Every structure is written in structure tokens, then in C-alpha cells.
Amino acid sequence: MAHLLFLSFLICRLIPIVGLTLHSSDLLPLQLHFHPSTTSSVSTDFGGTTHSTPLAILHPTSPHDIAILIRTSYLSPHPFPISARGHGHSINGQASAPQGVVIDMSRDSVISDLTHDRPLPFYSSSRHEYYVDVWAGELWINVLSWTLANGGLAPKSWTDYLYLSVGGTLSNAGISGQAFHHGPQISNVHELDVVTGKGELVTCSEDQNSELFHAVLGGLGQFGIITRARIALESAPQRVRWIRVLYSNFTAFTRDQEQLISLHSDSKRFDYVEGFVIVNEGLINNWRSSFFSPSNPVKMSSLGGANGGVLYCLEMTKNYNEYNAHSVDQDVEDLLKELDFIPASVFTTDLTYLEFLDRVHKAELKLRAKGLWEVPHPWLNLFVPASRIADFDRGVFRGILGNKTSGPILIYPMNKHKWDDRTSVVTPEEGVFYLVAFLRSALDNSGEPSKTLEHLSRENQEILEFCRKEGLKTRQYLPHHKTQSEWQHHFGRNWDRFQHRKAEFDPKFILGTGQGIFQPSSIPYSSLFFS
Ligand code: FAD
């Protein structure tokens, strides 16, 4: 009884705010929360620089709850914004819904039937492959634990960090060092359930409602809320040989990276290829302790100073099982001998597949213990065409950065043919392009001006300006733009398609307003809603 009274109270609050015309009983069953102690929990994100408290949070108990909420908004004369929030690991408020409702997709908040009856992996005889169906708010770490425990299986394509939601990474792309071979995560999902901006729950795939399927993948939450994803699996390897080698010569570094991602034979290639930039020795000393180099201990001081103090680390793994453990040393050696790294700079370690995939979580725990996790993160992620990566090195790593980083800088190439052009994500128009990720933490009280949020944000702008001026034709990954013309430029020749998809699947501009793609002036309800 108390519960019903509480719900009625909530709905009474919602109706005058958003002008609902539906019968209020439609919303009664929904777990909508309005109290500031709850709504404030989603007012910021991992970036830590934006704040926007929604009017309400929905904790869905099923996809139908999401459909009811969106339909309510869609049928209202004053539609209200709705955004899904996976794990809130965006940087610039992308999962927020100013003046609207945030749907908390996390499994922790999801009640009843969704927390039980996790589907088991199953075999598709038509595709000769295993799949698993997962709730889109599920974290990748839980997907992995589940599939490993049920058949020794695992998804094929990853992100470096696993405490991200399936729906959140599929709305962007989902990339890591496996993407050169398997493509991004959006290339490894075969069916989705989606609630569109009209409140319709639709199953889509390559063969069924394919326009919606492709729109939603990399769609930045603009066309529908993914509730279920069918993810392709493979047999999980038992162990991973993890190798790092150093370069002082950028041309040799990128040539080797590009050579490695061109290899396709399963036995004669690495399973994961990434890299990072080291502009000071701190980073090496950080990871040195977790690596060992049995044959060639290296004095780091002997490597410093080359190339203006900038080093490049190439990072690779080779997966293996008990049955082929005898050949892994030889396989790795054969691949390494083709590379042109600094002699004697080979660092190797060996761990389980789960330990390798979950490696960033270890770093997270260390940073949390030091109070360095929940700090502002002015991250910038760029896709850079391979033909201009040397210019980028000259202008940014050895130019703008000036020997200071304040966090890891990842750099690794990917093959464009592993990306499906029909999805909504945009990548450079070249066969090979790099991810360059500036994953920096701001520390305003460290006494070092180069670590402040202001400094790092200004440096990000300088980097973007450099790319623009030099005509590098980069694209932002996990994009953040402030004006519609910037978004238009971001999507380039795909802008028209993006707009058409919006008109078809979310004609009232209800979804994903935190992305700021469709500005208030272009939103039909804005004059009503914001007046
Ligand atoms: P949120 O931030 O909650 O949401 C992101 C966007 O997706 C929002 O627009 C939201 O509305 C929308 N959305 C969320 N769920 C759904 C859904 N079910 N349906 C439709 N739209 C939805 N990315 C990589 O590709 N590779 C990496 O290696 C990588 N490493 C990372 C490491 C860390 C420590 C962090 C913080 C982020 C990393 N990311 C990486 C970025 C990550 O992919 C994005 O932050 C992404 O947004 C996923 O985070 P999330 O699940 O918390 O989604």
C-alpha cells in the first residue's frame, strides 16, 4: 500500500513537469525514482567534469518497462528526454538526460526476472559458432565470467577495461588490441533487441530490421535503447604470453605494428597488438615490476634520451593452451625476429586469459587505493589515418606534449575492412588507421601546472587544432562536440544518413540528449519543453 502511494506521488510529480497525457496507471508499475539522493547518483560520470541531474531514474525490471517509459514520452505533447546509462564511464556527460529520465541499465539496479535466468551460451549450426544472449546493462567482466564458466567460451573482441556495459560499448564501437583481427565489438554482435524512440521493442539483425541494427551499433544512443545483445563467442585460450618491446624510432615502431596487423594466419600472428607512447621514464618503471625479462635484463637509463626522450612500446600477446604450450616460445620468437625494436628490450610475462583481459582492473584498484581514480579525466581519443601518423608524432608526441603526459597514451593500428560501414560509427577513409588515446588524469592540487584540468583541456584543444590545421583528417572516437556544425563535420558524408535514421527511429528527439548531437534549436519539443 505504501509502495502504491509512493508511486502515485512520483507520477503526480512527473505529470506536471513533462505534461504527460497517458493514464497515470501506465507508469505505476515502473520503478521510477525522483528523490535527489537517487537522481544525484547519476549526475556525473567517469570524466568528472560535467554535472546534470535528471528529473528521475528508471530502474527497469524488463525491456517492457523501457518501452512503456519511452512510449509515454513519445505520445506526450511535451516529450521528455531519456538516456540509457550503462556504467557511467563516459567522459562528457554522454549518458545524461538533462530535464529528463535516465534509465539505469546496470544489473545491480535491475530487479526481478532480469537478474535470474541468464541464458546459457548456445551453438548456432548455421554459423558454426557459439553465441550468448546478454542483458545490455551487463558488464563485460560478468559476460566473460559467465561464458568461461559455461563451456570455457569467451567473446572475441574486447575493450582494455571490462567494467563497461555491453550497451555502452556497442553504442560506440568497443576496441582493443584484438580489433585488428576480429574487428571492434560492434562487428561481433549478431542480434539485438532495441526499444526505439517510438517505444517499440524490436528485434534486429543483419537480416531482420537491418537498418535499425546498423544504426544502433556505434549509434551513440541516438536511435534506440539496446536491451539484449547476441554476442559471438570462441573457445577461450587457457594462457597468454604477453610481450612488450621498446622503440626509439617511430617509423620502425609503426612499420612493425602495421606489419603485425597484416598477418592473418592463426598460428603465425599475434592475438593482440597495441602500443603506447612513453614520454618519460615513470611509465616504464610502473609496469616494469609486473614484467620479467629472463634472458635480457635491461637498464632503462641506456634507452633514455633517444629521440628527444620519447620511447614507443609495442605490446603483443600470443594465446595458447596446454596442448600447444610446447610451441609458444618458438612461435613468439619467430614473430619477434621480424621486428626492429631496440635489442634487449624484450619484456615478457605469462598469465591466464582472464588475468590478461582483466589487467586494467588491477591498475584501477591501485589508483583507487591512492585516491587517484575518482579524479577528472579529460580524455581524448582520436582515429588517425595511417598515412598521417608520422605527422601526428612530430606535432603532438614530440611537439605539443613537451615531455609531460599525466597518464597513458595508447597508439595502435586497426584494419578498416574489419569495420562495417553500415554501422553509425565513423572512421578515417583509409585501409589502416590508428587509435591514439590520451587517457589522462587531472590533479589540480599536485602543485604541477601541467597536471591541472585546465592545462590538459587546453592541450586537448591544441591537439585538435593541430590536426585541423595540418589537415590530418582525424575522427574522434567516443566523440564530444559542442555545435551541430562540429557534429556534421564529424559524420562527414554520413551525416545525412545519421539524420535520416534519427527521423525514422527517434523522430521526437527523445533519446541520448546528453550527447548534444541534435541541438535544442533543431528539437521540435524544445520550445515547449524549455519554455
Ligand atoms: P555509458 O557511459 O553509461 O554510456 C555511453 C553512451 O551509450 C551514452 O550515450 C549512453 O546513453 C549510451 N548507452 C548506454 N547503454 C546503452 C544501451 N543499452 N542502449 C543504447 N545506448 C546506451 N572503450 C573502448 O572502446 N576500448 C577501451 O579499451 C576502453 N577502455 C576504457 C577504460 C576506462 C577506464 C573507461 C572509463 C572507459 C573506457 N572505454 C573504452 C570507453 C567506453 O567504451 C565508453 O566509456 C562507453 O561509453 C562505455 O561505458 P558505459 O558502459 O559506462 O556507458
User: What confidence tens digit (pLDDT) does each residue in 340-357 have?
Assistant: 999 989 999 999 999 999
Whether residue 22 has pLDDT greater than 60: no
Cβ proximity of 339 and 258 under 8 Å: no
Phi then psi for residue 12, to 5 deg, are -60, -35
Catalytic residue among 33, 87, 89, 377: 89
Three state DSSP letters for 159-216: CCCCCCEHHHHHCCCCCCCCHHHHCCHHHCEEEEEEEECCCCEEEEECCCCHHHHHHH
Determine which of 17-21, 25-29, 234-238, 320-324 has the lowest per-residue pLDDT on average: 17-21
Residue 181 corresponds to which cell in the numbers above?
A: 583481427
Does residue 89 carry a catalytic annotation?
A: yes
Which of 495, 470, 485 minimizes the C-alpha distance to 382?
A: 470
CA–centroid distance, 297 to ligand 1, in Å, is 39
Which of 408, 221, 451, 402 minimizes the C-alpha distance to 315?
A: 408
Give residue for cell 620511447: 311
Does residue 274 carry a catalytic annotation?
A: yes
123 vs 531, higher pLDDT: 123
Whether residue 3 has pLDDT greater than 50: no
Ligand 1, atom 53, residue with closest C-alpha: 168
Quick one: which atom of ligand 1 is closest to the CA of 377?
A: 36
Three state DSSP letters for 39-88: HHHHCCCCCCCCCCCCCEEECCCCHHHHHHHHHHHHHCCCCCCEEEECCC
Determine which of 374-378, 398-402, 434-438, 494-498 has the lowest per-residue pLDDT on average: 398-402
Q: Sorting pLDDT into bands at 50, 70 and 90, what band is 19? A: very low
**Overall average pLDDT of the 215-239 stretch:** 98
Residues with a CB atom less than 6 Å from ligand 1: 45-46, 83-90, 94-95, 105, 136, 159-161, 164-165, 167-169, 171-176, 220-221, 225-226, 478, 512, 515
Beta-carbon contacts of 166 under 8 Å, excluding residues fewer than 6 positions away, are 86, 134, 135, 136, 137, 138, 139, 140, 143, 226, 229, 231
Q: Classify each residue of 113-137 as buried b or exposed e, where b means 16 or more C-beta atoms within 10 Å of its C-beta.
A: ebeeebeebeeeeeeeebbbebbbb
Does residue 160 carry a catalytic annotation?
A: yes
Residue 338 CB burial class (10 angstroms; 0-12, 13-18, ≥19)? exposed
Determine which of 178-182, 194-198, 401-405 has the lowest per-residue pLDDT on average: 401-405
pLDDT score of 522:
47
Q: Sorting pLDDT into bands at 50, 70 and 90, what band is 404? A: confident
Alpha-carbon separation of residue 31 from 45, 192, 327, 404, 452 (angstroms): 22, 24, 55, 47, 40
Among 92, 142, 165, 357, say which to mutate for ligand 1: greatest number of ligand atoms within 8 Å of CB: 165
Whether residue 447 has pLDDT greater than 80: yes
* 3-class secondary-structure state, position 276: strand
**Overall average pLDDT of the 249-271 stretch:** 94
Bridge partners (DSSP) listed for residue 245? 314
pTM over 0.85: yes
Whether residue 480 has pLDDT greater than 70: yes
Q: Sorting pLDDT into bands at 50, 70 and 90, what band is 508? A: very high
Q: Sorting pLDDT into bands at 50, 70 and 90, what band is 527? A: very low
Give residue for cell 565470467: 145
Quick one: which atom of ligand 1 is closest to the CA of 184?
A: 25
pLDDT score of 402:
80
Quick one: which atom of ligand 1 is closest to the CA of 164?
A: 51
Q: Sorting pLDDT into bands at 50, 70 and 90, what band is 524? A: very low
Residue 263 corresponds to which cell in the numbers above?
A: 598477418
* 3-class secondary-structure state, position 454: helix
Q: Sorting pLDDT into bands at 50, 70 and 90, what band is 10? A: very low
pLDDT score of 405:
74
Helix (H) or strand (E) holding 5: helix 2-18
**Overall average pLDDT of the 215-237 stretch:** 98
**Overall average pLDDT of the 259-273 stretch:** 92
CA–centroid distance, 120 to ligand 1, in Å, is 25
Determine which of 84-93, 311-320, 408-417, 446-455 has the lowest per-residue pLDDT on average: 446-455
**Overall average pLDDT of the 316-344 stretch:** 96
Ligand 1, atom 13, residue with closest C-alpha: 168
CA–centroid distance, 103 to ligand 1, in Å, is 14
**Overall average pLDDT of the 17-29 stretch:** 59
Ligand 1, atom 37, residue with closest C-alpha: 89
Catalytic residue among 193, 271, 274, 506: 274
Q: Classify each residue of 257-287 as buried b or exposed e, where b means 16 or more C-beta atoms within 10 Å of its C-beta.
A: bbebbeeeeeeebbbbbbbbbbbeeebbeeb
pLDDT score of 107:
72
Measured in residues, the chain has a length of 531
pLDDT score of 531:
27
Query: Over the chain, what is the mean pLDDT?
Result: 89
pLDDT score of 530:
33
Catalytic residue among 45, 65, 138, 160: 160
CA–centroid distance, 95 to ligand 1, in Å, is 9
Whether residue 21 has pLDDT greater than 70: no
Within its chain, how far is the Cα of 85 from the centroid?
13
CA–centroid distance, 512 to ligand 1, in Å, is 13
CA–centroid distance, 293 to ligand 1, in Å, is 35
Among 69, 107, 162, 171, say which to mutate for ligand 1: greatest number of ligand atoms within 8 Å of CB: 171
pLDDT score of 454:
96
pLDDT, tens only, 92-141: 999 999 999 999 999 765 544 444 678 999 999 998 999 999 999 999 99
| Cα 411 to Cα 311: distance, rounded to the nearest angstrom | 12
Quick one: which atom of ligand 1 is closest to the CA of 226?
A: 19
pLDDT score of 18:
47
CA–centroid distance, 252 to ligand 1, in Å, is 33
Q: Helix 495-505 crosses helix 484-491 at what angle (to 10 degrees)?
A: 110
Helix, strand, coil percentages, rounded to 5, for the chain? 40, 20, 40
Among 134, 141, 159, say which to mutate for ligand 1: greatest number of ligand atoms within 8 Å of CB: 159
Phi then psi for residue 485, to 5 deg, are -70, -30
Whether residue 284 has pLDDT greater than 90: no
pLDDT score of 64:
95
pLDDT, tens only, 24-82: 567 778 989 999 999 999 999 999 999 999 999 999 999 999 999 999 999 999 999 99
Q: Sorting pLDDT into bands at 50, 70 and 90, what band is 267? A: confident
Beta-carbon contacts of 160 under 8 Å, excluding residues fewer than 6 positions away, are 176, 177, 274, 359, 360, 410
Q: Which 8-state DSSP code applies to residue 139?
A: B
pLDDT score of 264:
85
Quick one: which atom of ligand 1 is closest to the CA of 515?
A: 9
Whether residue 362 has pLDDT greater than 90: yes
Q: Which 8-state DSSP code applies to residue 22?
A: S
* 3-class secondary-structure state, position 234: strand
520 vs 428, higher pLDDT: 428
| Cα 167 to Cα 136: distance, rounded to the nearest angstrom | 5
